[in-house]
Structure 1
Amino acid sequence: MEKRNNKYQIDLKELALKDGAQAEKTLSFNFENHDDLFKIFDIIQSKNIFDNEKTAHEFALGLKLFTEVMLTNKQHPLFEELRPAVTEFMKKLKSY
Protein backbone atom coordinates (compact mmCIF):
# COMPACT_ATOMS: atom_id res chain seq x y z
CA MET A 1 0.00 0.00 0.00
CA GLU A 2 1.37 3.40 -0.97
CA LYS A 3 1.88 5.90 1.84
CA ARG A 4 -0.25 9.02 1.41
CA ASN A 5 1.35 12.39 2.04
CA ASN A 6 0.33 16.01 1.94
CA LYS A 7 1.56 17.79 -1.20
CA TYR A 8 2.97 21.31 -1.27
CA GLN A 9 4.68 23.77 -3.59
CA ILE A 10 7.42 26.24 -2.72
CA ASP A 11 8.13 29.31 -4.83
CA LEU A 12 11.34 31.13 -3.93
CA LYS A 13 12.40 34.41 -5.49
CA GLU A 14 15.45 36.56 -4.88
CA LEU A 15 14.35 40.05 -3.84
CA ALA A 16 17.67 41.75 -3.04
CA LEU A 17 21.26 40.56 -2.81
CA LYS A 18 23.69 41.92 -0.24
CA ASP A 19 26.41 42.44 -2.87
CA GLY A 20 24.11 44.65 -4.96
CA ALA A 21 23.94 42.15 -7.84
CA GLN A 22 20.72 41.90 -9.77
CA ALA A 23 18.20 39.72 -7.92
CA GLU A 24 16.73 37.56 -10.65
CA LYS A 25 16.82 33.90 -9.64
CA THR A 26 13.74 31.88 -8.83
CA LEU A 27 13.14 28.33 -7.73
CA SER A 28 9.88 26.43 -7.61
CA PHE A 29 9.38 22.82 -6.59
CA ASN A 30 6.73 20.47 -5.31
CA PHE A 31 7.30 18.22 -2.32
CA GLU A 32 5.46 15.92 0.03
CA ASN A 33 5.37 15.76 3.81
CA HIS A 34 3.63 13.35 6.14
CA ASP A 35 2.56 16.24 8.40
CA ASP A 36 0.06 19.02 7.77
CA LEU A 37 2.56 21.88 7.54
CA PHE A 38 0.03 24.63 8.19
CA LYS A 39 -1.00 22.87 11.38
CA ILE A 40 2.70 22.69 12.35
CA PHE A 41 3.07 26.43 11.67
CA ASP A 42 0.14 27.11 13.99
CA ILE A 43 1.51 24.82 16.72
CA ILE A 44 5.00 26.36 16.65
CA GLN A 45 3.57 29.86 16.68
CA SER A 46 1.19 29.05 19.56
CA LYS A 47 4.07 27.75 21.70
CA ASN A 48 5.68 31.23 21.56
CA ILE A 49 9.15 29.74 21.17
CA PHE A 50 10.22 32.75 19.09
CA ASP A 51 9.45 36.44 19.35
CA ASN A 52 7.73 36.76 16.00
CA GLU A 53 5.63 34.87 13.48
CA LYS A 54 8.19 35.19 10.66
CA THR A 55 10.87 33.43 12.70
CA ALA A 56 8.41 30.72 13.78
CA HIS A 57 7.48 30.08 10.12
CA GLU A 58 11.11 29.98 8.97
CA PHE A 59 11.98 27.56 11.74
CA ALA A 60 9.01 25.26 11.17
CA LEU A 61 9.44 25.13 7.39
CA GLY A 62 13.19 24.54 7.55
CA LEU A 63 12.84 21.87 10.20
CA LYS A 64 10.04 20.03 8.42
CA LEU A 65 11.84 20.09 5.05
CA PHE A 66 15.04 18.82 6.64
CA THR A 67 13.48 16.11 8.81
CA GLU A 68 11.35 14.78 5.96
CA VAL A 69 14.50 14.34 3.85
CA MET A 70 16.09 12.52 6.80
CA LEU A 71 13.07 10.23 7.18
CA THR A 72 12.95 9.48 3.48
CA ASN A 73 16.68 8.68 3.44
CA LYS A 74 16.99 6.89 6.80
CA GLN A 75 19.91 4.74 5.74
CA HIS A 76 21.97 7.51 4.12
CA PRO A 77 25.35 7.70 5.88
CA LEU A 78 25.19 11.51 5.89
CA PHE A 79 22.55 11.38 8.63
CA GLU A 80 24.10 8.60 10.73
CA GLU A 81 25.62 10.81 13.45
CA LEU A 82 22.90 13.44 13.30
CA ARG A 83 19.89 11.13 13.62
CA PRO A 84 20.11 10.59 17.43
CA ALA A 85 20.51 14.32 18.09
CA VAL A 86 17.55 15.19 15.84
CA THR A 87 15.43 12.58 17.60
CA GLU A 88 16.24 14.14 20.99
CA PHE A 89 15.69 17.64 19.63
CA MET A 90 12.24 16.69 18.32
CA LYS A 91 11.30 15.23 21.74
CA LYS A 92 12.41 18.46 23.40
CA LEU A 93 10.50 20.59 20.89
CA LYS A 94 7.31 18.57 21.37
CA SER A 95 7.57 19.00 25.14
CA TYR A 96 7.35 22.82 24.89
Structure 2
Amino acid sequence: MIALMKFFYRREYFSKDDFPSPLGFLAAVYQVADKYLVPQLKKDSLQRFRSMLNENWDSDDFLSVIPLVYESIPKSDRGLRDLVVDAADPYLEELTTKQAF
Protein backbone atom coordinates (compact mmCIF):
# COMPACT_ATOMS: atom_id res chain seq x y z
CA MET A 1 0.00 0.00 0.00
CA ILE A 2 2.89 2.36 0.69
CA ALA A 3 4.12 1.87 -2.88
CA LEU A 4 0.63 2.69 -4.14
CA MET A 5 0.56 5.94 -2.18
CA LYS A 6 4.09 6.86 -3.30
CA PHE A 7 3.05 6.25 -6.89
CA PHE A 8 0.00 8.49 -6.54
CA TYR A 9 1.94 11.36 -4.99
CA ARG A 10 5.42 11.06 -6.47
CA ARG A 11 5.12 8.68 -9.42
CA GLU A 12 8.14 6.87 -8.00
CA TYR A 13 7.90 3.95 -5.60
CA PHE A 14 10.80 1.63 -6.26
CA SER A 15 14.52 1.33 -5.74
CA LYS A 16 15.84 -2.19 -6.19
CA ASP A 17 18.40 -1.62 -3.45
CA ASP A 18 15.64 -1.04 -0.88
CA PHE A 19 14.27 -4.58 -0.97
CA PRO A 20 15.77 -8.00 -0.30
CA SER A 21 13.44 -9.37 -3.00
CA PRO A 22 12.95 -6.73 -5.70
CA LEU A 23 11.07 -9.13 -7.97
CA GLY A 24 8.79 -10.12 -5.11
CA PHE A 25 8.13 -6.48 -4.30
CA LEU A 26 7.28 -5.70 -7.93
CA ALA A 27 4.97 -8.71 -8.13
CA ALA A 28 3.20 -7.50 -4.98
CA VAL A 29 2.88 -3.98 -6.43
CA TYR A 30 1.45 -5.50 -9.62
CA GLN A 31 -1.09 -7.42 -7.54
CA VAL A 32 -2.12 -4.30 -5.55
CA ALA A 33 -2.38 -2.22 -8.73
CA ASP A 34 -4.65 -4.86 -10.22
CA LYS A 35 -6.80 -5.07 -7.08
CA TYR A 36 -7.24 -1.30 -6.79
CA LEU A 37 -7.58 -0.71 -10.54
CA VAL A 38 -4.50 1.45 -11.09
CA PRO A 39 -3.53 0.51 -14.66
CA GLN A 40 -0.54 2.85 -14.94
CA LEU A 41 1.06 1.40 -11.80
CA LYS A 42 0.30 -2.12 -13.02
CA LYS A 43 1.93 -1.35 -16.37
CA ASP A 44 4.96 0.27 -14.69
CA SER A 45 5.50 -2.62 -12.27
CA LEU A 46 5.21 -5.06 -15.19
CA GLN A 47 7.87 -3.17 -17.15
CA ARG A 48 10.20 -2.99 -14.15
CA PHE A 49 9.64 -6.69 -13.44
CA ARG A 50 10.53 -7.50 -17.07
CA SER A 51 13.70 -5.44 -16.84
CA MET A 52 14.74 -7.06 -13.56
CA LEU A 53 14.13 -10.55 -14.98
CA ASN A 54 16.74 -9.99 -17.65
CA GLU A 55 19.32 -9.46 -14.89
CA ASN A 56 18.01 -11.94 -12.31
CA TRP A 57 16.63 -15.03 -14.03
CA ASP A 58 19.22 -17.18 -12.26
CA SER A 59 18.77 -15.69 -8.79
CA ASP A 60 17.00 -17.10 -5.75
CA ASP A 61 14.77 -14.02 -5.96
CA PHE A 62 13.44 -15.22 -9.32
CA LEU A 63 12.81 -18.72 -7.99
CA SER A 64 11.01 -17.42 -4.92
CA VAL A 65 8.74 -15.11 -6.94
CA ILE A 66 7.33 -17.89 -9.14
CA PRO A 67 4.87 -19.18 -6.50
CA LEU A 68 3.87 -15.61 -5.63
CA VAL A 69 3.02 -14.88 -9.26
CA TYR A 70 0.97 -18.05 -9.63
CA GLU A 71 -0.78 -17.92 -6.25
CA SER A 72 -1.62 -14.24 -5.85
CA ILE A 73 -2.53 -13.02 -9.32
CA PRO A 74 -5.76 -14.08 -11.07
CA LYS A 75 -5.35 -16.89 -13.60
CA SER A 76 -6.88 -14.71 -16.29
CA ASP A 77 -4.07 -12.15 -15.92
CA ARG A 78 -1.17 -13.42 -18.01
CA GLY A 79 1.13 -10.39 -17.53
CA LEU A 80 3.63 -11.63 -14.95
CA ARG A 81 2.91 -15.30 -15.63
CA ASP A 82 4.00 -15.02 -19.24
CA LEU A 83 7.15 -13.13 -18.22
CA VAL A 84 8.09 -15.82 -15.69
CA VAL A 85 7.53 -18.62 -18.21
CA ASP A 86 9.43 -16.80 -20.95
CA ALA A 87 12.34 -16.09 -18.59
CA ALA A 88 12.56 -19.66 -17.29
CA ASP A 89 12.03 -21.53 -20.55
CA PRO A 90 15.49 -21.07 -22.13
CA TYR A 91 17.18 -22.01 -18.84
CA LEU A 92 14.98 -24.86 -17.59
CA GLU A 93 17.79 -27.41 -17.45
CA GLU A 94 19.97 -25.04 -15.47
CA LEU A 95 17.12 -23.94 -13.17
CA THR A 96 16.06 -27.49 -12.36
CA THR A 97 19.49 -28.17 -10.85
CA LYS A 98 18.86 -25.48 -8.23
CA GLN A 99 17.52 -26.74 -4.93
CA ALA A 100 15.02 -23.88 -4.67
CA PHE A 101 13.42 -24.88 -7.98
| Structure (1 or 2) with the greater strand fraction | 1
Higher relative contact order (CA 8 A, sep 6+): 2
Note whether the superposition's TM-score is higher than 0.5: no
- Normalised to the residue count of structure 2, the TM-score between the two structures is 0.31
Larger radius of gyration: 1
Q: Would you tell me which structure has more helix in proportion to its own residues?
A: 2
